[in-house]
Amino acid sequence: MELLDYLIVLLYFIISFSIAFFFYKRAGKDTNEFFLSGRNLPWYLAGLSMVATTFAADTPLAVTELVAKNGIAGNWLWWNFAFGGMLTVFFFSRLWRRAGLMTEVEFAEFRYSGKPAKFLRGFRAVYLGFIMNIIIIGWVNKAMISILTGFFGIDESTVFFYVFAVMAIVAIYSALSGLWGVVVTDAFQFFMAMTGCIILAVIVVNSSQIGGITELQNKLPATVFNFFPSISDTQNAAGTFVLSFSSFLAYVGIIWWASWYPGAEPGGGGYVVQRMLSAKNEKHSLFATLFFQVAHYALRPWPWIIVGLATLVLYPELSQNEKGLGYIYAMKDFLPTGLKGLLIAAFFAAYMSTIATQLNWGTSYIINDFYRRFLFKDKTESHYVLISRLVTLLLMIISVVITLFINRISGAWEFILECGAGVGLVLIIRWFWWRVNAWSEISAMLTPFIILPVLKLYQIEFPNTLFIIVPTTSLIWLTVTFLTKPTDEKTLIEFYKKVYPGGKLWKRISEKIPDAPTKQNFSSMFINWIAGVILVYSSLFAIGKIIFGNYAEAILYFVLIIVALIVITKNLSKEGWEKLLS
């Protein structure tokens, strides 16, 4: 890189820090401001923040690797989560905002009662806010180290110290600015990151080595451009993404509703719930989550996919384990001075937006649901804000240490999916069935950790492990539910009065509340869910068809988009959605 490149990177850091300092005083008012932005986020900021957080430094490399190994259809390994995402939009986003909690973990004592509820809240605070959080931050750090190592050609141990310095910067501005600063910085970082990725895709595909989209299509097998995988027990064509029938069922039929995964939790969870709780009202919560799903699955992937396809032509010598690095080599080989700095700054933006959210979100669990709930209950708000800032820095330090022990990024996400397998169903049902209690969740969380070592002993690998973990976990938590006492009736009544989820499975409780709403339009929610799924995938495929010049097929997808929007708009208009911005 030249001096201009370094100046661009420096300017990016200056702007990020300026945003943090701007929100310093506001974040220091109380924990409501520090963790939830005073519950006053508009839908577009909340939605952009969700998208920015899921755009980590490893994301373009991961998509490049998927495309280089399996063609465009390889992205179905994560595209399948759109089914669960849309479920969160129409069934859960308003319920979460209506609950008015500080964190997702607080739900335990809001919905359940007694000592099991207290244990569940404390356990989840430590398990999610600390253990899982530092694993996630660790693999994001590992990805950023790989990027800088590949781009600058220096050894990993040296790069580690640079990443540590950048993470320290993120921790400092997160500690200073709270969620307001994180969210506004997210918006800036997201636009910067996407701009850089789009510029790279345009330059690479129009380079002399590629010669444009048409030439790219001529130079690669047609199967690479398939949008859908083949279902077969044999690899029948080079460049075709082939899933066995069992793997297809696992990815498309099980994972999206059965497994806990950050950013795609069944029923919502983590930083997605944090943004929903931070929204101005229920409508802003719904629209923020809807915008997130469309932007996450339909708008973001194509610049990465294009570069991924181009790397098959540019770097055919890369081994299977090096495919993702093709993205870095394309940056080095094709970007002129100035744009190299922009792309490096874009990767820092993607990295920092994810780390900032993880630190703020994890700290909210540790402070609100462990420190404040069980250790020091009656301190001042200024005390809790100060401790929140210190814990943010502490999480950063521990995460850096954990990074040293992570060797394989894909191994981390497989581990998380397996450890959360079977939990998804209870996370969904707990809203709509009064009989679910704290022991239901506790047993669902613990069961995979008992089963997984046994499966590994018999060399059963992911995703086939899910076919055993999910039904076993579901059977155990249902059995535990009926063998243990139900939640205290007073707690159930208060929960229903606050959230009014409706439905026949709450009839026993709703009958005791004459003035509480008893009905929800579940048929409308279900129709909106189907329409939302159609909207996401039609948008995704329409953009792809336009890029590859298949305009007739693109028009068909646009027709589906319009139909889906009309259905969703008509259903939401009955609830006054047009007053969203009032």
Together in a domain, 402 and 538: no
Query: What is the identity of the amino acid at 158?
Result: T
| Per-residue pLDDT at 382 exceeds 80 | yes
The percent of residues in the chain predicted with pLDDT above 70, rounded, is 95
Together in a domain, 527 and 402: no
Which of residues 385, 406, 427 is at a domain's end? 406
Q: What is the mean pLDDT of residues 64-81?
A: 88
The residue segments making up the domain with residue 109 are 3-252+267-406
Mark residue 527 as left, alpha or beta (left: phi above 0; alpha: psi -120 to 50; beta: remaining): alpha
Domain harbouring 347, CATH code: 1.20.1730.10
Which residue in this structure is represented by tokens 């048409």?
A: 214
Check residue 479 and give its pLDDT.
Answer: 96
Check residue 200 and give its pLDDT.
Answer: 93
Q: What is the mean pLDDT of residues 240-268?
A: 78
118 or 154, higher pLDDT: 118
Element housing 230 (H / E): strand 230-231
Cα-to-chain-centroid distance, residue 494:
31
Flag whether 303 is in a domain.
yes
Check residue 351 and give its pLDDT.
Answer: 83
Check residue 581 and give its pLDDT.
Answer: 41
Long-range own/partner contacts, residues 573-579 (CB < 8 A, 24 or more apart)? 574/524, 575/283, 576/283, 577/283, 577/287, 579/283
503 or 556, higher pLDDT: 556
Flag whether 416 is in a domain.
no
Mark residue 71 as left, alpha or beta (left: phi above 0; alpha: psi -120 to 50; beta: remaining): left
Cβ count within 10 A of residue 503: 15
Start-end of H helices in 55-155: 59-70, 76-79, 82-87, 93-99, 107-111, 114-126, 133-152
Question: Residue 361: which pLDDT band, with cuts at 50, 70 and 90?
Answer: confident
Question: Residue 562: which pLDDT band, with cuts at 50, 70 and 90?
Answer: very high
| Per-residue pLDDT at 249 exceeds 60 | yes
Flag whether 389 is in a domain.
yes
Flag whether 491 is in a domain.
no
Together in a domain, 11 and 158: yes
| Per-residue pLDDT at 414 exceeds 60 | yes
Flag whether 427 is in a domain.
no
3-class state of residue 29 by DSSP: coil
> Which of the residue ranges 60-69, 146-155, 554-563 would you say has the lowest mean pLDDT?
146-155
| Per-residue pLDDT at 312 exceeds 70 | yes
Summarize pLDDT for 160-199 with one digit per residue, the tens. 777 778 878 878 777 777 788 888 888 888 888 888 899 9
| Per-residue pLDDT at 443 exceeds 80 | yes
Together in a domain, 533 and 397: no
| Per-residue pLDDT at 323 exceeds 90 | no
| Per-residue pLDDT at 255 exceeds 90 | no
Q: What is the mean pLDDT of residues 217-236?
A: 82
Q: Round to whole Å and give the CA distance between 262 and 417.
A: 9
| Per-residue pLDDT at 416 exceeds 80 | no
Question: Residue 234: which pLDDT band, with cuts at 50, 70 and 90?
Answer: low
- Sign of the four-CA dihedral 17, 22, 25, 29: negative
Query: What is the identity of the amino acid at 465?
Result: T
Flag whether 422 is in a domain.
no
| Per-residue pLDDT at 582 exceeds 50 | no
Domain count, the chain: 2
For residue 459, report the phi and psi dihedrals to the nearest 5 degrees.
Answer: 60, 35
Summarize pLDDT for 263-306 with one digit per residue, the tens. 788 888 888 898 999 999 999 999 999 999 999 999 899 999 99
Name, of 17-31, 313-327, 538-552, the range with top average pLDDT.
Answer: 538-552
Q: Round to whole Å and give the CA distance between 99 and 459.
A: 43
Question: Residue 119: which pLDDT band, with cuts at 50, 70 and 90?
Answer: very high
Which of residues 357, 378, 406 is at a domain's end? 406
Together in a domain, 393 and 529: no
Flag whether 8 is in a domain.
yes
Which of residues 359, 384, 406 is at a domain's end? 406
Question: Residue 346: which pLDDT band, with cuts at 50, 70 and 90?
Answer: confident
Cα pseudo-dihedral 92, 269, 56, 537, rounded to 10: -30
Question: Residue 240: which pLDDT band, with cuts at 50, 70 and 90?
Answer: low
Name, of 33-37, 110-114, 141-145, the range with top average pLDDT.
Answer: 110-114
Which residue in this structure is represented by tokens 């986020």?
A: 41
> Which of the residue ranges 192-201, 478-487, 508-517 would you say has the lowest mean pLDDT?
508-517
Q: What is the mean pLDDT of residues 417-424?
A: 84
| Per-residue pLDDT at 257 exceeds 90 | no
| Per-residue pLDDT at 27 exceeds 50 | yes
Degrees, nearest 5: CA angle 98-101-104: 105
What is the pLDDT of the chain when averaged over all its residues? 86
Together in a domain, 401 and 533: no
Q: Round to whole Å and give the CA distance between 238 and 324.
A: 19
233 or 91, higher pLDDT: 91
Cα pseudo-dihedral 126, 129, 131, 133, rounded to 10: 180
| Per-residue pLDDT at 426 exceeds 90 | yes
Check residue 144 and give its pLDDT.
Answer: 82
Question: Residue 247: which pLDDT band, with cuts at 50, 70 and 90?
Answer: confident
pTM of the predicted model as reported, rounded to 2 decimal places? 0.88
Question: Residue 13: which pLDDT band, with cuts at 50, 70 and 90?
Answer: confident
Flag whether 504 is in a domain.
no
| Per-residue pLDDT at 341 exceeds 70 | yes
Check residue 411 and give its pLDDT.
Answer: 52
Check residue 87 and give its pLDDT.
Answer: 93
Start-end of H helices in 133-264: 133-152, 156-205, 213-219, 245-248, 255-258
Question: Residue 261: which pLDDT band, with cuts at 50, 70 and 90?
Answer: confident
Q: What is the mean pLDDT of residues 544-556?
A: 95
> Which of the residue ranges 258-262, 378-382, 529-533 would you say has the lowest mean pLDDT?
258-262
| Per-residue pLDDT at 55 exceeds 90 | no
Check residue 552 and give its pLDDT.
Answer: 95
Q: Which two tokens stand for residue 110?
A: 């809001």
Check residue 406 and give its pLDDT.
Answer: 65
